[in-house]
Every structure is written in C-alpha cells, then in structure tokens.
C-alpha cells in the first residue's frame, strides 16, 4: 500500500500532472491495457475529496472532448443514480432480477476473492486488488463478469468484497459497476455479454506481462469452472427472466 499510493492533495496533484503530461494523449488506446500505466489512478483521491471533478476539468482544457473526461462524467452519473435510487446499494434497479437463480458456493467465492480460480487474468486482478487496494478497470470488468456470469454468484458478493478491499471504494460507482456487470442496473451490460477471461487476456495483455507481475511463473491452480460450459449455463439462467 505504501509503495502504491501517496495520499493527500499533493499526491493527487502529482498524479494529475504526470497523467496530463503524457499518458492522457494515448488514453483511448491504452486505458484497457493493464500492464501499461495508461490510466490516471485518481479514483481514490476523487473518493476522499483530495481532488475534485471540477479541478480535473479546469486542469485539462485540451482534453475535455476525450474519453478521459467522459469517464469522469460516468462517475457523476453514478452519484445521480444513487441519489434517485438509494435502494440499489442492496437491490437490483430492475425488479425482475429479484428472482434470478443465483448460485451459492462458499469455496468458489473464497477462491475468487483470493485469486485462486485457476483463470490467470482473474487471479492476477484479484491479487493486485489484495496487495494494492486497486485494480485496473478493464480487469475489474473481467473479474466481475466471471463472478456473476461464470460462477453465477450474486453481484452483492462482489460489491461487498470490493467495498472492503478497494481504496477507491465509492458507494455510487461500486453499485453502478456491479449492477452493470450483472445486467440488472441502468445502462446495464446485456445478459448475453460474458467476458471471456482468456480472450480478454490475449487482447489486452498479449505478452502476459500483467499476469506474470501478479502471479509469477510458478504453478497455478486448476480452473474451478469450465468457461464455455459455465457461459452456456449463465445464458440459460438469464433467459428464465424473459419467460
């Protein structure tokens, strides 16, 4: 934690200066590459009020039409949703998801939490989270999809684990993100979107640098689930909501 972060306004200002001095130029292309320092990492500072969206807006006039500022806007949208729908911290925005057939399996949940699923990109992300209190956004989507789709576990299991472990654990953004992954929130991912961790790794970590950084080169556990079979089971379960 001490190596990963410099808390306070000065740390936030230094990160913003570094980001605007270089990485922001390639943000649209590199923000999905977890091995590359292509994101601002300002989320914890935003959460604790050490920097504000307005400060970022005024500091980045030439980048206001970029994807980076759009992501700041999504954060504000999350707070808008939480204000108008406060029940969504514990309940789906879409009421029909109250009857979704979620699985319960304590061993699988524990394996996911501690990066022992046998799925390299998922395990790398969960170990980055455990050691640094942060996880790359692309990997957050992958580990979330794996939990709610491949393991078919309730999104609250993921939301609560992220709340306990993220240094940027923002209630509004956390709720929006997990309901998006589960398909039960506003502007949610369609139920048939299931991130394949293997193809995501091939596309966004093609050299395996990020995965090696957090997993090393030692032996890895066997996969706790078959990706193809679990995807088909998830799609079948989601289709029950339409009947």
Q: Which residues contact 33 (CB under 8 A, 6 or more apart)?
A: 138, 204, 205
Residues 185-196 pLDDT 10s: 987 777 788 999
Q: Active-site residue among 112, 134, 155, 180?
A: 155
Q: Active-site residue among 9, 29, 74, 76?
A: 74
Is residue 63 annotated as part of the catalytic site, yes or no? no
91-242 matches 9-87 in CATH topology: no
Q: What are the DSSP E strand ranges found in 156-225?
A: none
Question: What is 9-87's CATH topology?
Answer: 1.25.40
Average pLDDT over residues 34-47: 95
Is residue 233 annotated as part of the catalytic site, yes or no? no
Average pLDDT over residues 158-176: 96
* Domain extents in the chain: 9-87, 91-242
What does the pLDDT read at residue 225?
97
What confidence category does residue 175 fall into, taking pLDDT thresholds of 50, 70 and 90? very high
Is residue 102 annotated as part of the catalytic site, yes or no? yes
CATH code of the domain occupying 91-242:
1.10.579.10
């Amino acid at each position: 934690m001490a190596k990963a972060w410099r808390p306070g306004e000065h740390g936030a200002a230094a990160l913003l200066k570094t980001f605007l001095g270089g990485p922001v130029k390639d943000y649209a292309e590199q923000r999905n590459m977890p091995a590359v320092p292509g994101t601002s990492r300002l989320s914890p500072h935003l959460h604790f009020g050490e920097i504000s969206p307005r400060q970022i807006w005024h500091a980045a006039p030439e980048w206001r039409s970029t994807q980076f500022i759009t992501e700041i806007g999504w954060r504000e949208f999350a707070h808008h949703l939480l204000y108008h729908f406060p029940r969504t911290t514990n309940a789906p925005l879409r009421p029909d998801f109250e009857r979704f057939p979620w699985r319960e399996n304590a061993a699988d949940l524990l394996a996911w939490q501690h990066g022992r699923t046998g799925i390299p990109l998922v395990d790398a992300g969960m170990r980055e989270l455990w050691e640094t209190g942060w996880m790359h956004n692309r990997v957050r989507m992958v580990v979330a999809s794996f939990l709610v789709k491949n393991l078919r576990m309730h999104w609250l299991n993921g939301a609560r684990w992220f709340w306990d472990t993220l240094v940027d654990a923002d209630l509004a953004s956390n709720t929006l993100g997990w309901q998006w992954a589960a398909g039960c929130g506003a502007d949610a991912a369609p139920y048939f979107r299931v991130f394949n961790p293997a193809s995501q790794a091939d596309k966004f970590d093609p050299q395996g640098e990020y995965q090696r950084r957090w997993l090393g080169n030692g032996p890895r556990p066997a996969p706790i689930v078959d990706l193809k079979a679990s995807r088909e089971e998830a799609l079948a379960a989601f289709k029950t909501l339409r009947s």
